Every structure is written in structure tokens, then in C-alpha cells.
Amino acid sequence: MTDCHDLPGFRYICSSKFARLMELMTGKIQDEKRQGEAYAPFAQDPNQYKKRFYIESYGCQMNFADSEVVASILNQEGFGATRNLEEADLIFINTCSIREKAEQTVRKRLTEFKKLKKARKGMLVGVLGCMAERLKAQFLEEEKLVDLVVGPDAYRSLPALVAEAETGQKAVNVLLSRDETYADISPVRLDSNGVSAFVSIMRGCNNMCSFCVVPFTRGRERSRDAASILQECRDLFEKGYREVTLLGQNVDSYYFADEVSGQTITFAGLMKSVADISPLLRVRFSTSHPKDITDEVLKVMAAYDNICKYIHLPVQSGSTRVLQLMNRTYTREWYLAKVDRIREILPDCGISSDIIAGFCTEEETDHQDTLAVMEYSRYDMSYMFFYSERPGTLAQRRYTDDIPLEVKKRRLQEIVDLQGRLSLESNKRDLGKICTVLIEGDSKRSDQDWMGRNSQNKVIVFPKDNTVRQKGEYVTVEVTGCTQATLLGRII
């Protein structure tokens, strides 16, 4: 599970003042670009709707993907999306619980909805996602303006819950399911990119990392029917999409047994089938748990040009002692051997990580171990956090959150600084290289430049040449320059 990722397929327009404020406030420690994005309606929607909904999403890609499922369910019930809060009859906020700060952001946002609710009679406010699941009906007591509380496995019941809330009753459904995957609901994709899409392949997580609230908010792991995943990917390709990212908290443990054919399919098998749709369809995936990524997966990646050479392999800590407390089930040496194996089978593979500074009992030597693992692994990029104790997790129940905040922050800063150097070094190693880039659209700074990504998931910006190109096309680009975050190039 990875939140706040700037992965390919940045398909939402982040235009609200609030989102911009968030960007300014949070700086670069974690990528908050997508936080608080409002779900965009169809550009030209011919349908007449009885009601309008507004949905704003926080947290991981899975939450953003879920908001598309919610939009699809509401759409079928005759609700149309709006990005204009003032005209919304229903306001939904799809929430994240992974760190305390994520929850505070949502609470703050809710206070802003208060004024709107006063001004617009009959408007309903619903809280979706992980915070809804974690706090359940308690939410209704704490936040009086909230009318609906709906957990991640209960979105099918939304229309009924809305109807209930319309009668003045507060409506709650936070039941977790063992088998809900929303396999048959095709997410409404309303985007400005049209090139890359996220496809959810599984839900929940069984890993029980001691710091993580996800197993409690998203429930047990379950894999989505392979046939429905393939159908969704085929549809996307036919609509012009050229990149799919297979999404799950722990994609490598994907496993689906087809009761009709009697066949079973693993993640490696699924990836092969998706890659076989067309050589023009790029395949990415996120997130891998180091304990589960197999040689078979690495070999399938090597065998297919259209499976991108990029693995997000969260280490969390570089100290075996801390990893044990985190219940990550691998040692430092085991992780480093996995990095070696990736480099052996996929010499040009990009690797990124998630890192937590200041977990319970972390000593200065443990922190040094983390820095050393980063150096050894030569991460191209990392998402870096300081430990935030979450109620109900194993760590909260078993250990004391004993590292002072200043120490956590100082260690995090050292990690961020090191990653800055590693990212720059990684980009410098690419100078002069030739790569295939999928054009995603205009660069943020200038409509004279294209922006795309190479196989390793690095963003590359290059001038539009005089030939006619379009987003969704592949071009060959030579890397001619770089910053810490971006490659610069020219089409050859």
C-alpha cells in the first residue's frame, strides 16, 4: 500500500484553492499533489440529473480508484458529478487514516463544509473510506454535520444510504467484506489525460505490519476476478489508453481461482495476460511487498518490453531489529539480496521505496542502517515519513511511541536529504541515454514541451518537434539534461 504517489496517470485536475494550499503547506517530504482533488465531471455531459454530487479524495491511489467506483454507482442512480461545491446536493469526502496528519486534514476540510451546508438546505455530507471505517458511528457524534458514514466495502449500498439520509436519519454502513472487489462495476473515468489508468486488482491486506492501520480499515485481502480485470484493461486500450497500473496493497500476493475453468492465476500470470493485450499497452503495478515479489514476476517483467522496468519496493527501515518490530518478515540482508536479484534479472530497473523514520525504539544506529540501505539500493525515488502512531494497530498496543518528535523530524530530514542526492545521481547516470517515452500531455510549465515517462517511471520533459505528435504516442528521446526530479531531453 502506498499513498500519495505521483504515478503515471495523473488524471485529475488539481484546481481547488485548498489543494494548492495543501501543496504549499506540505512541501516535498511526501507527494501530496493529488490530495483533495475533486472528481471531475464529464466535459460535455448530455444527461439530465436529478441531483449533483461532489467527491474529494485523499490518501492512496486505491482511494482515488474507489472514488471512480463510487461515481459509477451514483451515476447509475441518476446523480451527476460536479466540481462546483456550491451546486452539490451531496458532498463526499473519501478519507485516509494512514497517518494522523491525513486525518487532521479531513477534519479541517469538514469544518469548511459547515458554512456550505448552512447556505444550502438539504445538502448532505458523507464520509467515505478509511476514516469512516476506523471511526464508524463515532464520527457522527464527533462531527455533527456528517450525515453518512460509509466504509470501503459498502459503496454498493450508497444509493440506499443516501435515500435514508434524505429522510433526516443518519446513515452508516461500515461492514467489511471478505469478497467485495467491485469487479462488475466499471469505474467512470473522467480525466484530462486519457493515456494512463489505474486498475484495481485486489483489495485489503493480510500483512499486519505493526505500524499500519490498513488491515483494520480495508479488511482481509481478496483478489478480483481475472477475467473482469482483463476486460477492463482491454476496454481501456480500445478507448485509447496506453498504460495501465495494476493496483493493490500487495499485488504480488494476487491469486485468483476460477471456479468455472478450475484454473488458478498468480500475479505473474495476470501480468502476462494484461501485457498480451497489445505491445502498445504499457503495464505497471503497485505496490510490492519485498517478501512476496518472486523470480517468476521478475522474469515475466524481463520477457515483456511493454511491462515497465520499475518496482516500488518499500523497505520501511534498514535495521533488522526494527524490521522485526514492524513485523515486516524480512531482514536487512534478505531485502538487500532482493535488490541484488532485481538488478541481476532486470539490470535497467528503477527502484523506489517507502521509509519510516523514528519507529518505536529506533536508535541512532538503526537510523544509520536505514541510510546505508538507501545508499546500497540506490533508490531513484522514495516516499518518506516519520512514524505516526495509529490507534488500534499492533505497534500502538505493543510498543511505546518513544522517539521525540524533534528526533523523528531530524532523522526524516537526513533521509530526505540523502534521497535528494540519490535521485540526482540516478538522473545524472541517465544523461546521454536513449529511452522510449509515452507522451502524457503538455509539460506543466509550457505547452511548447511534452511531458511523459520512461519505462523506469521517470518524468521526462522535451520540446515538441515540428512533426505531428499526440499524447498517447510513443517517442524515442535522448536524455540531455536533468534536475533532481525530472529528466530533460529531445526527440530523436
Quick one: what does residue 356 bind among ligand SF4, ligand 5AD, none, with the CB cut-off 5 to 8 Å set by partner type? ligand 5AD
Quick one: what does residue 3 bind among ligand SF4, ligand 5AD, none, with the CB cut-off 5 to 8 Å set by partner type? ligand 5AD
Among 215, 248, 290, 452, binds ligand SF4 (CB under 6 A): 215
Nearest CB to ligand SF4, comparing residues 206 and 476: 206
Nearest CB to ligand 5AD, comparing residues 181 and 382: 382
**For residue 264, what are the β-bridge partners?**
257
Question: CA angle 361-365-370, nearest 5°?
Answer: 90
Applying the rule CB under 6 A, the residues between 197 and 216 that interact with ligand 5AD are 211-212
Q: In 96-195, where do the E strands start and end? A: 124-129, 148-150, 171-173
Q: Does 356 bind ligand 5AD (CB under 6 A)?
A: yes
| Cβ at position 396, least distance to ligand 5AD in Å | 9
Quick one: what does residue 380 bind among ligand 5AD, ligand SF4, none, with the CB cut-off 5 to 8 Å set by partner type? none
Q: Does 318 bind ligand 5AD (CB under 6 A)?
A: no
Among 354, 362, 369, 401, binds ligand 5AD (CB under 6 A): 354
Q: Does 63 bind ligand SF4 (CB under 6 A)?
A: no
Question: CA angle 29-57-41, nearest 5°?
Answer: 130
| Cβ at position 142, least distance to ligand 5AD in Å | 21
Q: Does 98 bind ligand 5AD (CB under 6 A)?
A: yes
Q: How many residues bind ligand SF4 (CB under 6 A)?
A: 11
| Cβ at position 326, least distance to ligand 5AD in Å | 9
If we measure between CA atoms, which residue out of 213, 208, 151, 209 comes closest to residue 176? 151
Please state whether beta strands 381-386 and 171-173 pair in parallel, antiparallel, or not at all (unpaired): unpaired
Q: How many residues bind ligand 5AD (CB under 6 A)?
A: 15
Stretch that binds ligand SF4, among 69-77, 103-111, 202-210, 257-265 (CB under 6 A): 202-210
Around 161, how many Cα atoms within 13 Å sit in the side-chain half-sphere? 26
If we measure between CA atoms, which residue out of 101, 100, 157 comes closest to residue 126? 157
Measured CA to CA, the distance from residue 382 to residue 30 in angstroms comes to 9
The answer to whether the peptide bond before residue 266 is cis (omega within 30 degrees of 0) is no
Nearest CB to ligand SF4, comparing residues 207 and 377: 207
| Cβ at position 58, least distance to ligand 5AD in Å | 13
Measured CA to CA, the distance from residue 223 to residue 62 in angstroms comes to 14
Q: Does 314 bind ligand 5AD (CB under 6 A)?
A: yes
Cβ-based neighbour number of residue 297 at 10 Å: 23
| Cβ at position 342, least distance to ligand 5AD in Å | 18
Around 74, how many Cα atoms within 13 Å sit in the side-chain half-sphere? 30
| Cβ at position 362, least distance to ligand SF4 in Å | 17
Q: Does 1 bind ligand 5AD (CB under 6 A)?
A: yes
Q: Is 145 exposed, middle or buried (0-12, 13-18, 19+ CB in 10 A)?
A: middle
Quick one: what does residue 98 bind among ligand SF4, ligand 5AD, none, with the CB cut-off 5 to 8 Å set by partner type? ligand 5AD
Measured CA to CA, the distance from residue 56 to residue 128 in angstroms comes to 10
Nearest CB to ligand 5AD, comparing residues 241 and 383: 383
Among 91, 110, 212, 323, binds ligand SF4 (CB under 6 A): 212
Q: Does 99 bind ligand 5AD (CB under 6 A)?
A: yes
Q: What is the 3-state secondary structure (H, E, C) of 24-37?
A: HHHCCCCCCCCCCE
Closest chain position to ligand 5AD (CB): 354
Stretch that binds ligand 5AD, among 76-84, 186-194, 253-261, 380-388 (CB under 6 A): 380-388
| Cβ at position 250, least distance to ligand SF4 in Å | 5
- Among all chains, which residue has been given the C-alpha cell 506543466? 444
Applying the rule CB under 6 A, the residues between 139 and 178 that interact with ligand SF4 are none
- Among all chains, which residue has been given the C-alpha cell 467527491? 55
Measured CA to CA, the distance from residue 238 to residue 235 in angstroms comes to 5
| Length, in residues, of the chain | 492
> Is the distance from CB of 460 to CB of 488 less than 8 angstroms?
yes
Phi, psi for 297 (deg, rounded to 5) = -65, -45
Distances (CA, A) of 15 to 19, 33, 207, 437, 451: 7, 11, 36, 27, 19
Applying the rule CB under 6 A, the residues between 235 and 294 that interact with ligand SF4 are 249-250, 289
3-state secondary structure of 43: coil
| Cβ at position 98, least distance to ligand 5AD in Å | 5
Nearest CB to ligand SF4, comparing residues 229 and 395: 395
**For residue 436, what are the β-bridge partners?**
476
Q: Summarize as ranges the residues that interact with ligand SF4 (CB under 6 A).
A: 1, 205, 207-209, 212, 214-215, 249-250, 289
Q: Summarize as ranges the residues that interact with ligand 5AD (CB under 6 A).
A: 1-3, 98-99, 211-212, 314, 316, 354, 356, 385, 387-388, 390
